[in-house]
Amino acid sequence: MSLAVQIRQHGGPEELHLTDVPVGEPGPGEIRIRHHAVGLNFIDVYHRTGLYPLPMPATIGMEGAGIVEAVGPGVTHLSAGDRAAYASAPPGSYAEVRVLPAKCVCRLPDAIDFETGAAMMLKGLTAQYLLKKTLPAEGLQPGDHVLFHAAAGGVGLIACQWARALGLQLIGTAGSDDKCRLALANGAAHAINYRTEDFAARVKEITDGKGVKVVYDSVGKDTWEKSLECLRPFGLMATFGNASGPAPAFAPGMLGAKGSLYVTRQTLFTHIATREATQAMADDLFAVVQSGDVTIHIDQRYPLRDVQQAHRDLEARKTTGSTILTLE
């Protein structure tokens, strides 16, 4: 048995229940891991509310780090006793122990502690694909301007630092002046408080009217419209989340009128569909963290039993950087 956080129906934070669940042996291609720390992500909110529906009951959570306890048939890259970390589909990380597909799981370098591992996999792999794999053709070049919303959040603070290391001019938005300062301290070239300033006007000013090559928008409903105004001709709108609600439906003709724009909606889980792709992206992430170019900021820690409060704070925009759930 394992202590886990389950939902029995979609709803508010009060639907998160600490409960004992059975844990079986890993089947073919699976491992069993005992978590030392679990990562909190905004997708956990979508799973809880039902924006992304799950079959019930469900243990939510997509990120964790710990020790591999057992490996199933056919698993060759991990052994019992290994230190490991992962971003996973399906959910199930809000638990002391779980079984999951081994292809999601990577050995954690000795220099990276468990809490950092749990705080960086889903968010860091997301920053990796957004900055390095989302833009086709020639990709991003040093000096390019990009706009990154929620820049002081979990994915955001990693993206700010990684963008600086790549020589990009990242314009970050955030919901308070303190959060803007945090984004600037972590590599954003400019920061805009989008609750008090017109971010599209400021982006035009910063880029001498040209606009940015890519907008990374995980806020959705509240930023979609103005984000499109921030793009240069042939620019890319990379919408990847719904923190304020889903972005609206649109008529494709609008993209032509606004300057032959591109729109993409990607998800990490397409990028990490295979073990090889996951490992390659994780190696890149481990390297940038070990080089010191990216520091994983764990700004909040909650014991697993306080998971309801963790969700309340995340939704109330009270958190910055990464948040982890700790296990006694």
Binding interface with ligand NDP (CB under 6 A):
41-43, 122-123, 126, 150, 152-156, 174-175, 179, 218-219, 222, 240-244, 266-268, 314-315, 317, 319
CB of 269 to ligand NDP, least distance (A): 7
Using the minimum distance from each CB to ligand NDP, give the nearer residue, 233 or 245: 245
How much is the CA Rg of the chain, to the nearest whole Å? 20
- Report the distance separating Cα 230 and Cα 219, nearest Å: 15
C-alpha span between 11 and 8 (Å, rounded): 9
- How far is it, in rounded angstroms, from Cα 254 to Cα 260? 9
109/112 Cα distance (integer angstroms): 6
Nearest distance from C-beta of residue 125 to ligand NDP, angstroms: 8
Nearer to ligand NDP, 2 or 161 (CB): 161
Instruction: Quote the least distance from Cβ 78 to ligand NDP, whole Å.
Output: 23
Which CB, 6 or 126, lies closer to ligand NDP? 126
CA 129 to chain centre: 11
Residue closer to ligand NDP, measured from CB, 71 or 152: 152
Which residue lies nearer to ligand NDP by CB, 32 or 48?
Answer: 48
Question: In the complex with ligand NDP, which residue's Cβ is closer, 57 or 246?
Answer: 246
| C-beta nearest to ligand NDP: residue | 153
